[in-house]
Every structure is written in C-alpha cells, then in structure tokens.
Amino acid sequence: MLKNLKKNSFLIWSLAPACIFIIGFFVIIAFFLLKLSLTTYVGGMPQETGVISNYITLINSSAFKDAFWRTLIFVLTSTPLQLITGLITAMLINKSFHGRGVVRSVLLLPLAIPTIVTTSILVLMFSKGGHIGSLLTGQYSFFPQVMAKEISFMNNEAFAIGLAIFGKVWRDTPISMLILLAGLQQIPQDQYEAAETMGSKLVQSFTYITLPLMIPSIASVLVLRSVEAWKEFIFPYILAPSFPVLGVLIENFYVQQLNPGMSAAIGIMLIFLILICTWVLKVVLEAASKFLVKV
C-alpha cells in the first residue's frame, strides 16, 4: 500500500488540489441548498427555517407531479435515442471509406451550433405561422396540402415535449458518438476476422463481440446522457414553455414566484432522482453484461 502511494505520489499530489476543490465546492453547495430547501418564502422574503413544508407542498402539488412525469418521459425517450443514434453514427465512421473525415465533421456539426441557435431554428420552424405549418397547409407550391388547418405544435403537450426531445437528441448525439467510437476502436479486429472465418454473420458478430465489449462505453453514455436529461432546461424552456419539466419548474419558482425554498427543494429531489436512476442503470447494465458474456 505504502509502496503504491510512493510510486504514484506525483500523480496524487497533482490531482489533490482539483479533488479538494471539487469535493469542497460540492459540500458547500449541498449544505446551502439543503438549508435553503428547509426555508419557507413569501414574496421573496424568508419566513421560517428548519421545516419540511416545502417538500410536503411539492409532494401534494399537481404541477410538480406533472413536471416529474414529463421529465421521466423526457429521460426515458431521449437517453435511449441518443444511445441508438450515437451507436449507428459511431459504427458508420468507424469503417474506413473515402470521405470519412468529411462525414465525421458533418456529424459533429450539432456541437458547433450554440444550443440557443438550435432552439431558435426549431421555434421558427414549428411555431404558429412557421415553416412547417405553412408547408403542411399547402402554402408552398412545391409541396401538396396535407392539413386544412394549421396545428399549433408548441401549444400541444405531446408535440412540444417531442420537439424538445428531438432537439436534445440532435444536439447531443455527437457526444454519444465520440464515446462509443472510442469503445469501438478498442475492439481488436482479429476477433471479427476469427468470427468471420467461422461463418459468423454481421448480426452475430454484433451480438457476441461488439455488444459485450462495448458495455463500458454504453454504460458511460447512458449514465452521462440520463443525468443531462434529468436536469435539462433550455430545450423544454424554449420549445415547451407551457409544459415545464423539473428543470424549468425550478426556474419558475425561483424567478417568477420568488420562492427560492421551493426551487431548492426541487433541486434536492432532482439529485435523489438522478442517484436512483444511476443505481438502476448500474444494476441493469451489470445484468446485461453477465448475460452477454455468458452467451
């Protein structure tokens, strides 16, 4: 033990300041967030400290329940979609072909576009009087009329949340792609060659070689993207303002209702939801790994 510490002393001392800063900063934020969540506010002024009334109010609040279910749907939809699209694009550019560099650059383009620009474009396209509505109602000569009356996409909960999910998946797929591409490039090619000589088909190679060896990368994508989805703010805030998720509800209480205590309480509950989700993913991925390796 001491020998290993001495051997890695330079690395430990190099990382120690960053670790102390991150842990210390987290502890300070968590402490004040918890303290804030136990304080009731009226008109932006603190009234009572050390009570759990904020949590009781949230549990009985229909707005919180609706926001929770929207957030859960957002997480359960956007996270697998990012994994699937990321895996497809990673497997595409992992192959050697002419123009692969150009294709890779194009697939990374969503990361180069600021999120606010992406959401603004989607608003211009799907808002009332936008291009998609005009297209479907036959206002463009090159496209036949599909609907007699324009639909207000952003005033419909299913369309609005779906639009936010679409924007999130399109924007963050390159991140998943890069993580999965790194995992794909770690798989020895001789395993595929050996499987091919034994008559293995493409689906069999993917099931018995690619998936088991990609579990660490898949786990990273699912955990990181699910955490991001739980606390997503910009896409739902701009594209589905009438149907808030938990991240948007925090802003509503803090800015519009001048109630930092309720905002902090939602933040604490969001942390616990993320921890529970991460634990569930860990259990599921461990079971999947055992099943795939066993096969």
Cβ 195 vs Cβ 204: under 8 Å:
yes
Task: Let me know if residue 178 belongs to a domain.
Answer: yes
Task: Let me know if residue 15 belongs to a domain.
Answer: no
* Residue 230 pLDDT: 93
What's the pLDDT tens digit per position in 125-142? 888 777 777 777 777 777
Task: Let me know if residue 5 belongs to a domain.
Answer: no
> Residue 125: CB partners within 8 Å, gap ≥ 6?
131, 132
Residue 74 clears pLDDT 90, i.e. is over it = yes
Residue 70 clears pLDDT 90, i.e. is over it = yes
What's the pLDDT tens digit per position in 77-100? 999 999 999 999 988 888 777 877
* Residue 163 pLDDT: 92
Q: Which residue has the higher pLDDT, 105 or 278?
A: 278
- In angstroms, rounded to a whole number, what is the distance separating the alpha carbons of residues 131 and 153? 12
Task: Read off the tokens for 170.
Answer: 């399109």
* Residue 37 pLDDT: 87
Among 170, 293, 277, smallest CA distance to 222 is for 277
* Residue 248 pLDDT: 92
DSSP secondary structure of the chain: -HHHHHHTHHHHHHHHHHHHHHHHHHHHHHHHHHHHHTEEEETTEEEEES--HHHHHHHT-HHHHHHHHHHHHHHHHHHHHHHHHHHHHHHHHHS--TTHHHHHHHHTHHHHS-HHHHHHHHHHHHSTTSHHHHHHTT-STTS----SS---GGGSHHHHHHHHHHHHHHHHHHHHHHHHHHHHTTS-HHHHHHHHHTT--HHHHIIIIIHHHHHHHHHHHHHHHHHHHHT--HHHHHH-TTS--HHHHHHIIIIIS--HHHHHHHHHHHHHHHHHHHHHHHHHHHHHHHHHHH-
pLDDT band at residue 3 using 50, 70 and 90 as cut-offs:
low
Packing angle, helices 211-230 and 260-294, rounded to 10: 170
Domain of residue 216, CATH code: 1.10.3720.10
Structural domain including 171 reads: 28-294
Task: Read off the tokens for 42.
Answer: 């009226």
- 220-223 LR contacts (CB < 8 Å, sep 24+): 220/179, 221/82, 221/83, 221/86, 221/176, 221/179, 221/180, 222/79, 222/83, 222/281, 222/285, 223/278, 223/281
Q: How many domains is the chain partitioned into structurally?
A: 1
Residue 187 clears pLDDT 70, i.e. is over it = yes
Among 231, 184, 232, smallest CA distance to 205 is for 184
What predicted TM-score, i.e. pTM, was given to this entire model?
A: 0.86
Residue 205 clears pLDDT 90, i.e. is over it = no
Task: Let me know if residue 4 belongs to a domain.
Answer: no
Task: Let me know if residue 114 belongs to a domain.
Answer: yes
- In angstroms, rounded to a whole number, what is the distance separating the alpha carbons of residues 198 and 93? 26
Based on C-alpha coordinates, what's the Rg of the chain?
24
Task: Let me know if residue 173 belongs to a domain.
Answer: yes
Mean pLDDT of 105-124: 88
Task: Let me know if residue 7 belongs to a domain.
Answer: no
Question: What does the mean pLDDT of the chain come to?
Answer: 84
